[in-house]
Structure 1
Amino acid sequence: MNNTFNHLISIAPMVDKTDRHFRYFARLLTKKTLLYTEMITAQAIINGDKKKLLDFNPFENPIALQIAGSNPEELYKAVKIAEEWNYDEINLNAGCPSDKVSGNMMGASLMAYPELIAEMISSMKSATKKPVTVKHRIGISSSKVISSFMPYGSFNDFNHLSDFMSIINKAAPDRNILHARIAILEGLSPKENREIPPLDYAMVYTIKKEFPNSIIEINGGIKTLDDIHHHLTHVDSVMIGREAYSNPAFIARFDSFYDSKPTGQLTRRAIIEGFIPYIKDLEIKGENTHLALSHILGLFQNQSGSTMWKRLISTPSNGTKSSLLSDALASLPQDVLDKEL
């Protein structure tokens, strides 16, 4: 499928996962993939520690900022503030099923109010020249009536999704990212909402046919290169979530979708050597290096040396974490370290 924008693959925003440390690590593995921040509320950006929330290393680009909110004026203010940080894209979260988020009328619960979503997108677009995108589910289910758009407390069929898209697309989001599951707003944890509602990729494919001029990105349960190839025959781009985090070597293959022969050979040795200066810089600044290393535990997933790797970088030590990484290069199986990812 021909794409009229600059990315085919993104790594999903994940709370407590896609922080600046993980994004730096991911950028060592892929030069092309769009990365996301964790979800940040508009109120936090307006009232909180802006540098702590919004700072990122330019090495992380291209990067999208995901914002949650329900007030168009607050979203306008938050996007205006974020302009100083020069993100490549601003994304509205209308898909998070967490009780904490949905209970504050953010995330997936917003899908009951498509006119409000359209108003928020318009407000965000008026605050920036950057692309403004929206991430949502294919539907939601609730035990109670939420709005006139959901007279039966559920939204789980194609016609309802088509009506929803028609309304929010009045605001012309630059891309619609659809998680191919409904969100169940009561009784399930966020983890269960990623696993229990069944995937319906066909509904996303049909939406693309129904809205051929909209850029449609698919998300949910995508774990292999074959999955990515297949989805790209139906939609414009693919968002990868937990598999990218738990099996980082997977990320190293993403650039092949842009260039069949990416320059340079990526190996686990090269990735670790690239991450050591980053950890040394954190040490100099007195920052928490344990948090940064927690994001790279899966680098040797399904490989000889995986258990040793996890033990080496997670066991308390009198030495620095950067020196532990250097020790790992000498201790781990050399054939695995030097095998192309």
Structure 2
Amino acid sequence: MPLHIQTPYIRSRAASLRLGKDVFLKLDALQPSGSFKLRGIGAVCEARQAAGARRFVSSSSGNAGIAVAYSGRELGVPVLVVVPESSSARARDRIRFEGAELAVHGASWAEANAYAQSVMGANDAFVHPFDDPGLWPGHATMVDEMAATGPKPDAVVVAVGGGGLLCGVLEGLARNGWGDVPVVATETEGADCYARSLQAGRPIELPAITSIATSLGAKRPSSAAVEWATRHSIEPVVVSDAAAVAACLRFLDEHQLLVEPSCGSALAALETASPVLAAASRIAVIVCGGVTATVEALQDFHRREG
């Protein structure tokens, strides 16, 4: 049995009534680790253990590290997760809660990642949080589940950090015969490396992450995610931190499910003037999760932003 679970794919009556079209939610916030990351990371960890790994090492701003820690605990393999200084106290606590060793290094994920790779031992296996082709078939299983139950959407909305989830969703669409379904790739301002990369036609690295959506905290997207735009219809949408947080709070009110601002970017995109979404009658939103979110933090930011 895989480490991840099948998650509901349901129609949101509240969002559907508000937008005047059918909105379906793929609720991967319900994964045991709290986010979609467990799909690909769980599969990679199982493969690395079978290949003889005696410790997993990863770098993460939160969700990926939690997924590696969860996978290691379930598989009986020690885990080291390196997080950047920008990671939240709750993310660090959740990683420790799952039984992993935690190290804090660098101002951003890039610095944490470099340090994690520098401390690798001979029997360690590195688990990349997003830029590993081994992750994507696991993430694609969410589309397998959507296709098995239906309905087929006219568009899929997905949050983008480094691009691992996006690559998985695109792979899932392709292998289920849904290659004609356009994807709306969402980010927050200050973490919008993917939108800038698509505009430039090549991967662009941000000088710094200034968004509160730290799970979107890769300064540079994976090359594979950028390359996908040459063969699949992908529309980038960038929203403000305030819009993402407001969307999280509304989602909590409407569905009693707490997600973080990175996921909120996908929910907030429903309210934007996206040409792809305007043309769609049925929209699927990947509710990717975020166990690091707290109601207090979201409400505090919402109050500060007026």
Q: TM-score, normalised by structure 2?
A: 0.31
**Which structure's CA Rg is the greater one?**
1
> Taking CA–CA contacts closer than 8 Å with sequence separation of 6 or more, which of the two structures ends up with the larger relative contact order?
2
